[in-house]
Structure formats: structure tokens, C-alpha cells
Structure 1
Amino acid sequence: MHFQYGSITNPFAETSTGTVVLTLQHASFWRFGDNFFFVDLMEDGVGDGFNDKDAYGEWYSNLSLRKLGGRDLGFGPFADFGIFAGVAFGADANVLQWLPGARIAWNLPGFVFLNTDFMMAVDGTDGLDGGSPPERDSRFGIDINGLFPFDLGSQSFSITGHAEYFVATTDELGNDVPASILAQPQLRWDIGAENGLFVGIEYQYWSNKLGTEVSESVVQALGVWQF
């Protein structure tokens, strides 16, 4: 469970407002791979139709080729390879995307995990006819995600998060949707029982946020309860 607070940008009004984000996040392994999902609940206290008790979530199920084949496929810096299926949804915006892709899992010193994911973002809505934003053409994206723990003296810290890039595309009205970058690294300090309670910060950089030409750069206070 994550708690975050920071001045989040509404790219349509080009304003920034103090926003609370509560995140339920889950990661687990299964016989042939792993699952990951999160759901963000957002409230900014401003009745402008943006982040007004909104919800956004993503789910990914990855199939490990190492586990599927029953043999070690790793060599050099490569730990494993996988194929995955993902879905992303936004409640207020009525957005739905399918995210099929392939994964490289890296074997690098110090990292608990480090993945590079290659995917297609496929619009799953009916666009304007279905009450959603204009339907977008499919576009390619790449996401790097990982966890790197370290100690300073007797204190335990970690850097975790992800950074993604999606190429430009067009929508059903013929409008250009610019390429975007979203990076959300977190610095965490383990303050309780090991791997239980963390405080820290999350830095969010988002270029061309939500298909606009507005970019965001914000530091958010972070609290994490892991159970």
C-alpha cells in the first residue's frame, strides 16, 4: 500500500494542485511466471473533472520462458526472457488499453530485479462513439523497471520504480498524439521491521502528459506499507 502527496499537474487546464494518491500494489509468482498489478485512487479536492476520486490501474501477467521450458536460458547479463499480457484502465476518462509484449530480465549485480519490457498499446475502447476519448492507433512502447536495495551504515534504503517511452501516434480524428516519457523512480528508507514500512520520495517526470504537449516534473512525499 502506497501513500503519496504532491502537486500534480492537470495538463488540460495547465494547473497544479496538491493531490493525494493511494495505491494498492501486488506482485507475486506463479508456476510459469509472475503477476503484477496496481490501482491508484486519486483525489485533488478540486471539482474540475480531473483526479476527482478517480481510479487508474494496470495488470500484467508474464510467462517466463525459463520456467515454461524447465531449463536455464540465462547467459551473460541475461537472466530470462518472457512474454506477457497487460491491461490498463482509467475510470473517469473511460480509457482501456491492451498491452501485449515481450520481456528481457537482466542479471546485474545488486538488483533484486531489472526488466526491459517491449509492448504495443492497443486501444480497447470504441472511441468517441462509446463515450471515451478519441480512439488512438496502436503504438509501440518500452518500459524499464527494477529494484536496487542498498545500505548506508546501519540503515537500509532502496531505489525502485520504472521509466517508459511510447512513440507518437494519431487518433480517430486525425490528430497527432505526441511521443511521451513517464519516469517514476522512488527512493525509500526502511524504517520499521525489514521490508515492512518505508518512507521516502517519488519523483515523477511526464513529458507530453496524457497526449497533450504539457510536461510535468514533481516530487511527491511517499509512504509504503508492505505486507
Structure 2
Amino acid sequence: MKKTVLTMALCACAATSVQAAEWSDTSIGYRTGGRFREPFNGADIHKDILDINHVSGYAYGTNFFNLDVLLSNKTDPSAPGASSGAQEFYLLYRNTVSLTKATGNPFAYGPVTDVGMTFGFDVNTKDDAGYNSKKRMLVVGPTFSFKAPGLLNVGIYGLWESNAPTNEFSGVSTPRYRYDTHPMLGAVWAFPVGATGWSWEGFANWIASKGKDEFGNQTAPETNIDMQLLYDVGPLLGAKPKTFRAGFEYQYWHNKFGNDSKHVPGASASTPMVKAEYHF
């Protein structure tokens, strides 16, 4: 399954290279925190996360690609009774076609500066002691760009999600099942904090209930907010501005993966992190 994720990552990178980029930014990053949670596991989990991130603009819109490699400690074991932690690969890709650029006509009104159609997917694979997720999700919907001192995009998307987990305790693989098609309201922002060298960036997603899971349980609406305050330390190190950045990150995840936190331990988490990243 990890080969599948890496293959799709290479395909996404190839897709971005086929379109002549007008501008691009690629980075590698590291973040770490000790208060992660996983559904059905009420303990605090320490995770080290490596990421590869790419965003670029081309003649008709933008590409965005991110691969997270999440390494848990033994509180989130890789198998029943294991002393090693779980590993997860999570790949996300989005392509937004600007209607202004594609048609040559302005799609702007009031605070909205442009409207785009976003297409993309999420893929993950995880080796752990319980669920062993193999998520596949298609994402389609409009994205609205707003006037802001930086970046502010808000979108309304349809999600088509499926999974095919393996129960490590029984060794039984669940045939791939599909959730109901469900909507997501998402926002992405990146604002400079004056002329201080700091920037405030992040995303917020609200995901409606996706119907019943493979056990027949009704899923709950999900909220995932991830924000970071980063400082441009490049000039302090003799490098170009925006080459090295470091700072703090915070994630709030409620009803993770649609699990109702009222009944499922570990389904909600409030996680502070430290982060550093290098931009090519």
C-alpha cells in the first residue's frame, strides 16, 4: 500500500511538471508534538512528521501537493503488542482551475476576486495495531478567492470516500466500502504579520456526516483546524528570505474520521507542535 501512495505522489508531481509553471514553491518540513490522539486510543501519542510540499501556478490555475510521513511512538503501536510505533503516509493533491484565466472573463464580485473549480484526491495508508486505514477520497467543488493581505480561499466541496481497513487483532481485511457522498466547507489562509517576518497560515475544514461506517454506526460531523505561526529565520542564517522558516503549529481535530467523541475515546485532540521547514 505504501508503494501505491508513493506512486500516486510521483504521478501528482509529474502532473505539475507537465503544466508550465509560472511560479512555484517547494519545501520539506519537520514538526513534532506529544498530544496527538487516535480514535479508540485515549492515550497521548507523540508523533514526528516529515512533509514534502509543493504549490505552483500555471496558465489556468494552481497545483497543490503535500505528502506527510507520520511516525508515532509506541503509544500508537505498529501491531498488537509491538514496542515500535505506527507509520502513516498521507498524500493530498489539489488542482484549481481559475475561471477568470480559463475563460478570459473576470469572475469577481465584491470581496471575491476569483472563482475556481477544484479537483483532487486524498490517499493514505497506515500500519497500526487496530484499524490500518487505506483511505481513498475524491474531492470536487468550487473555490472562492477573497481580497486579503495575503491568501484567503474558501471552498465548498463534494467528497467521495472509501476505505478497506485490516483488523490486526483478527487478521481480517474488510472489503472496500464507500461512505455516502458528503460535503465539506474548507478554508485556507496565509497572512503576513505586518513587517515582522512572522506569518500566520493554516486551514480549517468542516466535514458533514458521511453516513454509516462499516459497522453500521452513524458518523459524526468532523472539524479539523490546523494553524501555524512561522518566522523567516533565513536572513539570520545568511540565507535568502523565506528559505528557512520555523515556529509553532497547533491542530484541533474534533470527531476525527467521523468518530463521535462522545462515545469513542481519542476521537478529539488538541495538539501543539513545533515546526521547521526549508524552501528550495
Fold equivalence (TM over 0.5): yes
Q: Is the 8 A contact 1:40 1:55 kept in 2?
A: yes
Higher helix share: 2
* Structure 1 position 45 matched with structure 2 position 59: no
Q: Does 2:204 align with 1:204?
A: no
**Counterpart contact for 1:142–1:166, Cα < 8 Å:** yes
Give the match for residue 74 of structure 1: 108
Percent of residue pairs identical: 22
Gaps of 5+ in 2: 1-27, 80-84, 127-132, 167-171, 235-239, 262-266
Secondary structure class of the residue paired with 2:194: strand
From 188, 206, 220, the equivalent of 1:178 is 220
TM-score of the pair, normalised by structure 1? 0.90
Q: Give the whole-Å Cα distance in 2 for the aligned partners of 1:143 and 1:40.
A: 19
Q: Which runs of 4+ in 1 moved over 6 A?
A: 126-130
Bigger radius of gyration, 1 or 2?
2
Q: Specify the alignment match of 2:188 in structure 1.
A: 145
Note the alpha carbon deviations across 1:11-50, whole angstroms, 9 max, x for none. Answer: 2211112110011111001111111010100111326248
The one-letter code sitting in structure 2 at the alignment partner of 1:105 is: S
Tell me which amino acid in the other structure corresponds to 1:58: L
Amino acid at match of 2:206: Y
Amino acid at match of 1:217: S
- For 1:1-150, list aligned pairs within 5 A: 1-7=28-34, 8-46=36-74, 48-49=77-78, 52-92=86-126, 93-108=133-148, 110-111=149-150, 113-125=151-163, 131=174, 134-150=177-193
Matched-pair contact (CA < 8 Å) for 1:167–1:178: yes
TM-score for the superposition, normalised by structure 2? 0.74
